[in-house]
Amino acid sequence: KQEVTQIPAALSVPEGENLVLNCSFTDSAIYNLQWFRQDPGKGLTSLLLIQSSQREQTSGRLNASLDKSSGRSTLYIAASQPGDSATYLCAVMGQNFVFGPGTRLSVLP
């Protein structure tokens, strides 16, 4: 059974800092990994999709990497802004998504 963990559970940083969010999964037989952000009470917004054959993906200030063999992914956020404050979820796709518990990020002005 696939299990996904995320570290840290919560993170508070001053504006402008670069930061790294970590995701680990137990079963490397995945089709892809997707990072989402969720604002309070809202749905999920897709940030980055990394296919199983890829090592990383970039979008603007976001960069995500995937190491299937070790069961790890990282989301790198450069030059953080208060608008980045949200919960970040990683999800691995097998027959369905299995989600991690999320990292709650607060970026302070």
- DSSP β-ladder status, 32-38 and 86-93: antiparallel
Interface pick for other proteins out of 24, 25, 34, 77 (rule CB under 8 A): 34
Rounded to an integer, what distance in angstroms lies between the CA atom of residue 17 and that of residue 6?
20
- Figure out which of the listed residues 21, 89, 105, 107 binds other proteins, where binding follows CB under 8 A: 89
- Supply the DSSP symbol for 79: S
Longest dimension (CA), the chain: 41
Interface pick for other proteins out of 28, 56, 93, 104 (rule CB under 8 A):
93
> Footprint of other proteins on this chain (CB under 8 A)?
31-32, 34, 36, 41-46, 49, 51-53, 89, 91, 93-102
